[in-house]
Amino acid sequence: MNDSVRAGLSPAPEVFGGQWALADVVARLRVARMSWRKRQGRGREPGGRELPSREALAEIVHAVCGALFPMRLGPPDLREESEDFYVGHTLDSALNALLAQVKLELNYQVRHEARERPDLHQRAVHIVQDFAAALPGLRGLLDDDVMAAFHGDPAARSVDEVLLCYPGILAVLHHRLAHQLYQTGAPLLARMIAELAHAQTGIDIHPGARIGRGFFIDHGTGVVIGETAVIGERVRLYQAVTLGAKRFATTEDGSLEKGAPRHPIVEDDVVIYAGATVLGRITIGRGSSIGGNVWLTRSVPPGSHVTQANVQSEVRHD
């Protein structure tokens, strides 16, 4: 460690002799941070931490879920008399907290772009207002998702079991909230909400994906749905289905191409069974079914039934 480092916050020599050599580790960590910030073209950071908080978002989503489904995801002592009070108070807290997170993201976007930030507060308010106004509509969509799960799984005993237990519902609930924020200008928060669901369920839906009514994912672990995927109404997926991009696509200068449509379009009433891999900007026509473990990289017309060909197992006996 050279002198310029120690010039930072250098402890007296004897303090270096502490059990953990804390002062030394702290100084070297500072060097590492400075090196990173330099590589990123960042100067001193005059303000404080400017990134949204995963924990704050988790609480916001939890509160919004309670407000959407008060009798099922709200507090245990709720009764109909107090439902609206609970919903109103909970939403208010959640929206205020969301406003703070949106402002953090907008500030971050602006810092990155090195532009002025004149109307930032107002933009954040608009995003949250849109979010609030969208909630009743989202509730309706989610009711259809629950019905789809109930009808789609022979093991489901009631619509309430579906809402309480099914990871697929949890993932869609997060997605619909995240997609709303993604569309209105808070893609980082949207991504963080998507990852909250991913961590809980193993279902990885990019918040950019557009998903129609009555969507159901059963079991779900390992499902991946890409940013530009488009999914119609009444679509059903099983575990480990990938709606991904074809890889190796690069721009002329060799770097990966960003932003362009590169994930599948899945039309209405399609079922895709476990482990199927669907790659690229292809279209799966309305009403098709894609069998388990199928590997599909080209479009199929409506009403197709795609299964693995040549699947054989070899059986030996001792």
* Residue 313 touching a copy of itself (CB under 8 A): yes
Tokens 């908080």 belong to: 53
**The binder of a copy of itself chosen from 65, 128, 177, 266 (CB under 8 A):** 128
To the nearest whole angstrom, how small is the minimum distance from the Cβ of residue 106 to a copy of itself? 14
Cα-based torsion angle of the residue sequence 249, 253, 257, 258 in order, rounded to the nearest 10 degrees: 170
Tokens of 3: 């002198």
Do 235 and 253 meet the contact criterion of CB atoms below 8 Å apart? no
How far, in Å, CA of 5 to CA of 27, rounded?
7
Residues 1-20 that bind a copy of itself (CB under 8 A): 7-12, 15, 18-20
**Residues counted in the chain:** 318
State the CB neighbour count (10 A cutoff) for residue 160.
13
Q: Which amino acid is at 212?
A: G
**Nearer to a copy of itself (CB atom), residue 116 or residue 314:** 314
Among the listed residues 60, 274, 280, 286, the single contact to a copy of itself using CB under 8 A: 274
φ, ψ dihedrals at 103, nearest 5°: -60, -40
Interface of this chain with a copy of itself, residues 46 to 105, rule: CB under 8 A: 46-54, 67-68, 70-72, 74-93, 95-97
122: contact with a copy of itself by CB under 8 A: no
Of 292, 285, 277, the closest CA to residue 223 belongs to: 277
Which residue in the set 106, 167, 177, 214 belongs to the binding site for a copy of itself (CB under 8 A)? 167
User: Could you say whether residue 133 binds a copy of itself (CB under 8 A)?
Assistant: yes
Nearest approach in angstroms of CB 295 to a copy of itself is 5
Residue 32 is a binding residue for a copy of itself (CB under 8 A): yes
Footprint on residues 228-247 left by a copy of itself (CB under 8 A): 239-240, 242, 244-245, 247
Applying CB under 8 A, does 311 fall inside the site for a copy of itself? yes
Asked if residue 265 lies in contact with residue 245, where contact means CB atoms within 8 angstroms, the answer is: no
